[in-house]
Amino acid sequence: MTAKKTTNPVVTPLKTVTVRGVEMTLDPAAFINDEIVLYLSELDDFDSQTEDERKQTLSDMYRVFRILFPNWRDIAKKLRDDTGRVPRGAITSFILETIAALSPNS
């Protein structure tokens, strides 16, 4: 009988950052994700999308937002404008600012 090899996954230490007055302790590895890059690029093409594509893009972005940020409700409150809505682009900007704060030397 052969012994099973166990591998220890690489564990990224959590990092505490403050973005737009919101302090968060996050896993930086969660942001190194091709899916997030894809969603951000879809938002760049938002104006050229059909209505159905726009709905899907926004739905995807909110899903990613909720996964990345356990305190997403608090963040959404900070991102609301005078109308009480979260403006298009606010979530993307917040994610990009968070990525920059998590890896300031890149």
**73 is written with which tokens?**
């409700």
The predicted structure's pLDDT at residue 80:
93
Residues 88, 80 contacting (CB under 8 angstroms):
no
User: Mean per-residue pLDDT for 22-42?
Assistant: 81
- Bigger pLDDT: 6 or 72? 72
- Bigger pLDDT: 76 or 39? 76
In the chain, domain spans: 23-102
Place of tokens 């996954």: 9
Residue pLDDT, tens place only, 48-104 = 889 998 888 888 878 888 888 888 888 989 999 999 998 878 888 888 899 889 887
The residues near 96 (Cβ < 8 Å, ≥ 6 apart) are 40
User: Mean per-residue pLDDT for 11-40?
Assistant: 84
**42 is written with which tokens?**
């879809």
The predicted structure's pLDDT at residue 2:
63
pTM value? 0.71
